[in-house]
Structure 1
Amino acid sequence: MALLDDSRKRDLLDIDEYAMIRGVLQVSEKHVGDIMIPRSHMVVLELDDEPKNLLDKIIDSGHSRFPVIGEDRDEIVGIFLAKDILKNFKKNNDQKNINISDLLRPAIFIPESKRLDTLLSQFRESRNHMAIVVDEYGGVAGLATIEDVLEQIVGDIDDEYDSKEGENIFDNGNGSYIVKALTRIEDFNDYFKSSLEEEDYDTVGGLIVNNLGRLPNVGELINYRDFKFKVIKSDKRRVSILEVSLHKK
């Protein structure tokens, strides 16, 4: 690592090259427990979910893969891929006939102590993109995805729910807006002609977390002043993306 730092200081590597090589080296030193999404923040589907509830969860979360639980969160019965439901629609053309158990894929289970470089190899060899993390007692501790591992190397990976590059606030055109949680409250107020407090919080995400008293879950709705905030993207460390709409008067 010292050699890498020295190469950067001598301008032998640009900042992107330096960051990626450093990420590759560090990924062998980190473990699944360092980057996993904890069980309290997992978006799960239930084996007995009604079709409409199932679809609502999939659409609201914006995720493509979901752990499916039985009696509780310690009973993971499989992994559900959102794309499989589209194949089912094409075949049956009737959402009432969805049987989630028929669409399940096997879940893989890994310990919190597993090294990230080993997990990345396992993902590649098994062609899985999600693993369920278990603690020393065999209970579900959380989950890890291939995206979580790759972000340790290349930084945050934007998805279709992230705003366009350079835009902190994006108008959906339907009365709702996608807002990056790092948007400064001053900028938020300027855009929406609002008067959210700027003294105690710098960002919209900070205001939401502090007023709620905890990190909200994906899909959670927070009503504050004239606005309704819906968490679109977050992990165990921070809120990233919010959907914002104005309360109807």
Structure 2
Amino acid sequence: MDDIVNLSIVGVLIALTAFFVASEFAIVKVRSSRINQLVAEGSKKAIMAKKVTSRLDEYLSACQLGITVTSLGLGWIGKPAVKELLVRGFGLTNIPDSAISLISATLAFSIITFLHVVVGELAPKTLAIQKAEKMTLWLSGPLHAFYILMYPFIYVLNGSARMLTKMMGIDMGAEKEHSHSEEELKILLSESLKNGEINPSEYNYMNKIFDFDNRIAREIMIPRREICAIPEDMPLDDILAVMTKEKYTRFPVFSGDKDHVIGMLNKKQLFADIVYQEEKDQLKIQDYIYPVIEVIDTIPIQQLLVKMQRDRMHMAILTDEYGGTSGLVTTEDILEEIVGDIRDEFDEDEQPVIQKRADHHYVLDGKVRLDEVQDLIELPYNDEEIDTIGGLILKENIDIQEGQSIYLDDIRIKVLEMDGRYIKKIDLKKGVMSSDKDNTRTGLDIKEPLLVNEMTLSEK
């Protein structure tokens, strides 16, 4: 009868060890954000789990106390109980009595150690890690009850540990809620994508949102030379012709030149009044000009979006540090930074700013940002003063013409289309060997002796 009781106690101690080990790993592994979600959904078990996970230091001490006590109990009761059974079993054999004691003690120690390590620790640890959420919800209640029961001991043990760490010069301080950095969140998103928790579109949106705060308005603006603006004194018929051709809804209005934007003209309102106005000549353009936002072109686009929402404006004029107009930004330009290109029925002929021809071969718009180009082909170039690939080309060769190229190591950048000094389209190709380079000596291929010879000839 005593053997059955002792073995039952051994089984209970191993089960308790498994309980405390599983609780320890589960409450550490479980995601607090998931527990918060379950609490919001009204789960009663999640409320207790939230209480446990929000005070990890104290409840982990409870787990450690439980594991220590059960381990000591196994050593105190388990080994002698198993040894006694083995001694009786071996007593029925012809093994000498002197050897039976040694063999029984060794086997008893091995059996108890195996059960303690495998059944009491490794198996529950693996289960808790794999099913952290479920295990936390199931075990938080009993663990809380044990914590209340053993609170005086846990309080003394925690206090002693804090005093010891303080003597070592370590100030534990108050517990702080752990928060994830932006890079950590990106890693979590990558893991969620890999495991199928989110789809590629959601992953791309989130990555673009992280980059959103790092963008400034100048990087996404429509450059000054591409702005379709209307002079203040333009005749109405000419204004209607421009509006019919360009298909935009809103047009900046300037006085004198584009450095003096005085407002914005809404095509829809103007056309509606023309339809219902019997005498079109009585319309005054000045009555349809509304104020427009003017901001410095280095403003973060997140701040610009907030300002446009607050002022209920769909367009903002960007100015440079000297007060001149540098470009224009619309709400569509800002939203495209998150969701990608937004095309309407009037954009059928519009070509993508990045067109892939082959591996490491692209046709790009001249105003594509250098950081976007770096994502396609790593350029051996770093200049914070230049924003676009067109700016890079002009930096290397201000006199470059259509059809000419510059070379950066094995990368050829060829100008396909220009409008004056403005580079509209380029051909970018990586892996161009020196023997394949054309004879145009531009950009990085310009040699100083060549310039000297040209100057000498011109002087003659």
**TM-score, with structure 1 as normaliser:** 0.66
Q: Which has the higher helix share?
A: 2
Tell me what 1:6 maps to.
Answer: 191
Query: Following TM superposition, by how much is the alpha carbon of 1:211 offset from its aligned partner in structure 2, in angstroms?
Result: 5.7
Among 237, 240, 243, the residue aligned to 1:52: 237
Tell me what 1:20 maps to.
Answer: 205
Tell me what 1:99 maps to.
Answer: 284
Measured against aligned partners, the alpha-carbon deviations of 1:25-81 in whole angstroms (never above 9, x if no partner) come to: 211111101101111110001101111110111111110011101111111111111
Q: Percent identity?
A: 29
Distance 1:180 1:139 in 2: 29
Query: Following TM superposition, by how much is the alpha carbon of 1:212 offset from its aligned partner in structure 2, in angstroms?
Result: 4.1
Tell me what 1:131 maps to.
Answer: 316
Once the two structures are superposed, the pairs formed by residues 195-206 of structure 1 within 5 Å of their partners are none
Query: Following TM superposition, by how much is the alpha carbon of 1:162 offset from its aligned partner in structure 2, in angstroms?
Result: 2.8
Once the two structures are superposed, the pairs formed by residues 168-207 of structure 1 within 5 Å of their partners are 179-181=349-351
Q: Given the superposition, is the C-alpha separation of residues 75 and 96 from structure 1 closer, same or farther in structure 2, using an over 3 Å criterion? A: same
Distance 1:70 1:149 in 2: 27
* C-alpha contact (below 8 Å) 2:253/2:264 kept by paired residues: yes
**TM-score, with structure 2 as normaliser:** 0.37
Q: CA RMSD in A?
A: 3.2
Query: Following TM superposition, by how much is the alpha carbon of 1:117 offset from its aligned partner in structure 2, in angstroms?
Result: 1.3
Query: What is the letter of the counterpart of residue 70 of structure 1?
Result: S
Aligned residues: 188
Query: Following TM superposition, by how much is the alpha carbon of 1:3 offset from its aligned partner in structure 2, in angstroms?
Result: 2.9
Tell me what 1:40 maps to.
Answer: 225
Q: Is residue 213 of structure 1 aligned with residue 418 of structure 2?
A: yes
Q: Given the superposition, is the C-alpha separation of residues 75 and 161 from structure 1 closer, same or farther in structure 2, using an over 3 Å criterion? A: same
Distance 1:44 1:216 in 2: 20
Measured against aligned partners, the alpha-carbon deviations of 1:112-153 in whole angstroms (never above 9, x if no partner) come to: 111111111112111100000011111111110000000001
Tell me what 1:154 maps to.
Answer: 339
Distance 2:190 2:296 in 1: 32
* C-alpha contact (below 8 Å) 2:263/2:289 kept by paired residues: yes
SS in 2 for 1:213: strand
Distance 1:83 1:19 in 2: 35
Distance 1:180 1:60 in 2: 15
Q: Which has the higher strand share?
A: 1
Distance 1:45 1:158 in 2: 24
Tell me what 2:304 maps to.
Answer: 119
Select the structure of larger CA radius of gyration: 2
Distance 1:216 1:81 in 2: 31
Give the structure, 1 or 2, with the largest relative contact order (CA under 8 Å, sep 6 or more).
1
Measured against aligned partners, the alpha-carbon deviations of 1:140-193 in whole angstroms (never above 9, x if no partner) come to: 111100000000011111112133xxxxxxxxxxxxxxx4536xxxxxxxxxxx
Distance 1:102 1:4 in 2: 51
Measured against aligned partners, the alpha-carbon deviations of 1:180-239 in whole angstroms (never above 9, x if no partner) come to: 536xxxxxxxxxxxxxxxxxx998x999x966424999xxxxxxxxxxxxxxxxxx987x
Among 325, 339, 342, the residue aligned to 1:140: 325
* C-alpha contact (below 8 Å) 2:417/2:424 kept by paired residues: no
Q: Given the superposition, is the C-alpha separation of residues 124 and 49 from structure 1 closer, same or farther in structure 2, using an over 3 Å criterion? A: same
Distance 1:202 1:114 in 2: 30
Query: Following TM superposition, by how much is the alpha carbon of 1:9 offset from its aligned partner in structure 2, in angstroms?
Result: 3.1
Q: Given the superposition, is the C-alpha separation of residues 180 and 134 from structure 1 closer, same or farther in structure 2, using an over 3 Å criterion? A: closer
Distance 2:299 2:187 in 1: 26
Tell me what 2:109 maps to.
Answer: none
Distance 2:421 2:189 in 1: 38
Structure 2, gaps ≥5 residues long? 1-185, 353-360, 367-401, 403-413, 426-460
Distance 1:148 1:155 in 2: 9
Query: What is the letter of the counterpart of residue 418 of structure 2?
Result: G
Distance 2:213 2:418 in 1: 34
Query: What is the letter of the counterpart of residue 213 of structure 1?
Result: M
Query: Following TM superposition, by how much is the alpha carbon of 1:87 offset from its aligned partner in structure 2, in angstroms?
Result: 3.1
